[in-house]
C-alpha cells in the first residue's frame, strides 16, 4: 500500500480540556504542560469534543505564530480521528499525484483552487487531452453515528452552494466529482446527515441526479512517531 508523509514530526500527545471560539483548544500535554492549540476545523466537530479525550498535536518552528501548536488528531470511541481539515486536501493531492485513487488516475494535469461558479473555487481541476475537465471537490469527514460515517456535522450553506454549482458545471459537459475523505478507520459505510442539514442533503441528491459523482475513501490516521503516513483505504459504500 502506498504511503504519504504529510505531517511534521514528532506528534505530541495530551488530553483535551475544551475547544472554544471555533479555532482554539485548551490541552494538557502528557508532560503536564498546559497549552492552547490552533484548531484547524471550523465545523461543529460533533462526536469528538469530549473533555478528557486523548489528542495529538504538532508544534511549529515558526516563532511568529501566535499559537505554536496545531491540533491534528483526537481519540474517540476507541479510534484515532483526523480533525485537521487543512490536511484533507494535502492527502488527496498526494493521492492524485501517486495515482492511488483509481477513479481519478487517468488525468495528467492537476490544478488547485480554480475559480468557477459564483465566487467559488474548486479544490482540484483535473485534465488530460481528449478527456473532459474534471472538477473535484473534497470534503473532510470525521462524524460517526451508528457505525456510519456522515457529512456534514453542522449546517453548511457553502457546501450546498458547491453542490448546486457542480450540477450546473456538469450540465455544461464537464465531469464533476465530490470526494468525501473519512479520517477514521472504524466505519464501513457513509451517508449524508440529512437530519443535520436537510438543505445540503437535498442539494447533494439533486447533484447526483444531475450526474455529479460521489466517492468515499477512508484514511488511516498515522498515530505513530516513527513515520507520519496516511495510506488511502479502499472505497467505502455510500448510502445516498
CATH number for position 78: 2.40.50.580
User: Are residues 216 and 204 located together in one domain of the fold?
Assistant: yes
- Cell triple for 53: 479525550
- The confidence score (pLDDT) of residue 228 equals 42
For residue 92, is it within any domain? yes
The rounded Cα 74 to chain-centroid distance in angstroms is: 14
User: Are residues 71 and 137 located together in one domain of the fold?
Assistant: no
Positive or negative: CA dihedral 88, 89, 94, 95: positive
For residue 109, is it within any domain? yes
Calpha distance 120→222 (Å, rounded) = 32
User: Are residues 74 and 97 located together in one domain of the fold?
Assistant: no
Calpha distance 90→153 (Å, rounded) = 21
Phi then psi for 14, rounded to 5 degrees? Answer: -165, -160
Residues spanned by the domain of 24: 12-82
Q: Has residue 97 got a pLDDT over 50?
A: yes
- The confidence score (pLDDT) of residue 119 equals 84
CATH at 99:
3.40.1350.60
pLDDT category of residue 236 using cuts at 50, 70 and 90 = low
Q: Has residue 165 got a pLDDT over 60?
A: yes
Which one of 82, 116, 133 terminates a domain?
Answer: 82
The model's pTM is 0.91
Domains contained in the chain, number = 2
Calpha distance 204→97 (Å, rounded) = 27
For residue 166, is it within any domain? yes
Q: Has residue 199 got a pLDDT over 70?
A: yes
Contact 9, 228 (CB under 8 A): yes
- Geometric angle at alpha carbon 81, from 75 and 86, rounded to 5°: 130
For residue 22, is it within any domain? yes
Which one of 53, 82, 111 terminates a domain?
Answer: 82
Cβ-count burial of 179 within 10 angstroms (0-12 exposed, 13-18 middle, 19+ buried)? buried
User: Are residues 135 and 229 located together in one domain of the fold?
Assistant: yes
For residue 205, is it within any domain? yes
CB atoms within 10 A of CB 87: 21
User: Are residues 94 and 67 located together in one domain of the fold?
Assistant: no
Condensed to tens digits (0 to 9), the pLDDT of residues 26-60 reads 999 999 999 999 999 999 999 999 999 999 999 99
Mean pLDDT of the chain: 90
For residue 3, is it within any domain? no
- Cell triple for 26: 485548551
Condensed to tens digits (0 to 9), the pLDDT of residues 127-146 reads 999 999 999 999 999 999 99
For residue 47, is it within any domain? yes
Calpha distance 12→27 (Å, rounded) = 11
Which one of 37, 54, 82 terminates a domain?
Answer: 82
Amino acid at each position: 500500500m502506498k504511503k504519504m508523509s504529510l505531517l511534521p514530526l514528532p506528534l505530541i500527545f495530551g488530553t483535551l480540556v475544551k475547544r472554544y471560539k471555533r479555532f482554539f483548544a485548551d490541552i494538557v500535554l502528557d508532560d503536564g504542560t498546559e497549552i492552547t492549540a490552533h484548531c484547524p476545523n471550523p465545523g461543529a466537530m460533533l462526536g469528538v469534543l469530549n473533555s478528557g479525550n486523548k489528542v495529538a498535536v504538532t508544534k511549529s518552528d515558526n516563532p511568529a505564530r501566535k499559537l505554536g501548536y496545531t491540533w491534528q488528531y483526537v481519540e474517540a470511541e476507541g479510534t484515532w480521528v483526523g480533525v485537521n481539515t487543512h490536511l484533507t486536501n494535502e492527502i488527496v493531492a498526494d493521492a492524485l499525484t501517486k495515482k492511488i485513487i483509481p477513479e481519478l488516475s487517468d488525468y495528467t494535469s492537476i490544478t488547485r483552487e480554480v475559480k468557477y461558479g459564483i465566487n467559488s473555487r474548486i479544490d482540484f481541476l483535473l485534465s488530460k487531452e481528449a478527456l473532459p475537465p474534471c472538477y473535484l471537490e473534497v470534503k473532510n469527514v470525521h462524524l460517526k453515528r451508528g457505525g456510519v460515517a456522515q457529512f456534514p456535522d453542522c449546517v453548511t450553506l457553502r457546501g450546498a452552494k458547491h453542490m448546486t454549482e457542480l450540477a450546473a458545471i456538469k450540465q455544461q459537459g464537464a465531469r464533476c466529482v465530490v470526494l468525501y475523505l473519512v479520517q477514521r478507520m472504524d466505519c464501513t459505510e457513509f451517508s449524508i446527515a440529512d437530519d443535520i442539514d436537510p438543505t445540503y442533503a437535498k442539494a447533494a441528491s439533486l447533484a447526483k441526479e444531475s450526474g455529479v459523482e460521489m466517492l468515499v475513501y477512508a484514511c488511516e490516521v498515522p498515530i505513530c512517531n516513527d513515520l507520519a503516513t496516511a495510506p488511502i483505504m479502499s472505497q467505502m459504500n455510500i448510502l445516498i
